[in-house]
């Protein structure tokens, strides 16, 4: 690849990367306000009913909860509102009256917010100026590393895979002697094969 084409390709990659980076919308999850009504979250916790452990939810097997005001376990989800990702509450408990009239005591222990799976108020304004600058720097760094890797691969390919002329050892071999099979460049085939003197060659 020529230097001019390499520069044009690098510029093209940077422009494309910036375009996709700037058009990606970010979630509106606010670290100050935490979880809001309408969000959907994954949590880890231990679920007890009347003092007995019923279910354990972990990071590998989380419980997904809709933060909905109309949901039946309103007492529980209302306690999640305002919590932040990574935050843990030692206990959330409430009483539930069953259809048969009995009252059960529900308690969720060690409730940890793992992540937001659905944000009720996504931000449509795009990244801030600081984020744009950070994105540009990341793109430039990433592109530079990618081209460095490609350059190293090309050097290795050129060194180990490109066949060199058997006679001069400098030029790339483009022909092979049909008799003895050695590789030669175009200049070194003028006087025939230096090994067997054959004048019949096969182009690679």
What does the alpha-carbon distance between residue 112 and residue 19 come to, in Å, rounded to a whole number? Answer: 36
Model pTM greater than 0.75? no
Question: Do the domain assignments include residue 34?
Answer: no
The first and second tokens of residue 8, run together, are 């044009």
Residues 44 and 113 in one domain: yes
Q: Which residue has the higher pLDDT, 58 or 126?
A: 58
Which pLDDT score is estimated for 157?
A: 66
Q: Which residue has the higher pLDDT, 185 or 132?
A: 185
Mean pLDDT of 194-199: 86
Sign of the CA dihedral 122, 125, 130, 133? positive
The neighbour count for residue 137, using CB atoms within 10 Å, is 10
* Residue 91 pLDDT greater than 90, yes or no: yes
Mean pLDDT taken over the chain: 79
Give the model's confidence band at 25: pLDDT under 50 very low, under 70 low, under 90 confident, else very high: very low
Question: Do the domain assignments include residue 46?
Answer: yes
Which pLDDT score is estimated for 7?
A: 53
Residues 46 and 106 in one domain: yes
What does the alpha-carbon distance between residue 13 and residue 30 come to, in Å, rounded to a whole number? Answer: 32
Which pLDDT score is estimated for 108?
A: 95
* Out of 34-38, 138-142, 176-180, 198-202, least confident range: 138-142
* Residue 58 pLDDT greater than 90, yes or no: yes
Give the CATH number for residue 107.
3.10.50
Number of structural domains found in the chain = 3
The first and second tokens of residue 114, run together, are 């793992």
The first and second tokens of residue 149, run together, are 């890797």
Percent of the chain scoring above 90 in pLDDT: 27
The first and second tokens of residue 145, run together, are 């590393």
Residues 56 and 114 in one domain: yes
Reported as a single tens digit per residue, the pLDDT across 71-86 is: 778 889 999 999 999 9
**Strand residue runs (E) in 73-142:** 88-97, 103-118
Query: Which residues span the domain enclosing 91?
Result: 40-118
Q: Which residue has the higher pLDDT, 119 or 108?
A: 108
What does the alpha-carbon distance between residue 193 and residue 122 come to, in Å, rounded to a whole number? Answer: 73
């Amino acid at each position: 690849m020529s230097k001019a084409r390499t520069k044009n390709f690098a510029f093209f990659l940077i422009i494309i990367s910036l375009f996709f980076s700037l058009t990606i919308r970010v979630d509106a999850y606010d670290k100050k306000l935490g979880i809001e009504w309408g969000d959907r979250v994954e949590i880890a916790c231990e679920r007890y009913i009347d003092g007995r452990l019923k279910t354990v939810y972990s990071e590998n097997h989380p419980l997904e909860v809709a933060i909905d005001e109309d949901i039946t376990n309103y007492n529980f989800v209302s306690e999640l509102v305002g919590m932040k990702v990574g935050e843990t509450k030692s206990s959330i408990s409430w009483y539930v009256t069953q259809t048969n009239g009995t009252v059960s005591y529900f308690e969720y222990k060690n409730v940890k917010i793992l992540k937001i799976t659905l944000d009720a108020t996504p931000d449509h304004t795009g990244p801030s100026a600081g984020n744009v600058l950070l994105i540009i720097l990341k793109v430039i760094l990433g592109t530079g590393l990618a081209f460095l890797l490609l350059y190293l691969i090309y050097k290795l390919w050129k060194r180990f895979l490109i066949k060199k002329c058997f006679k001069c050892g400098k030029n790339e071999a483009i022909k092979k002697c049909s008799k003895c099979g050695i590789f030669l460049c175009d200049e070194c085939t003028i006087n025939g094969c230096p090994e067997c003197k054959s004048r019949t060659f096969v182009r690679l």
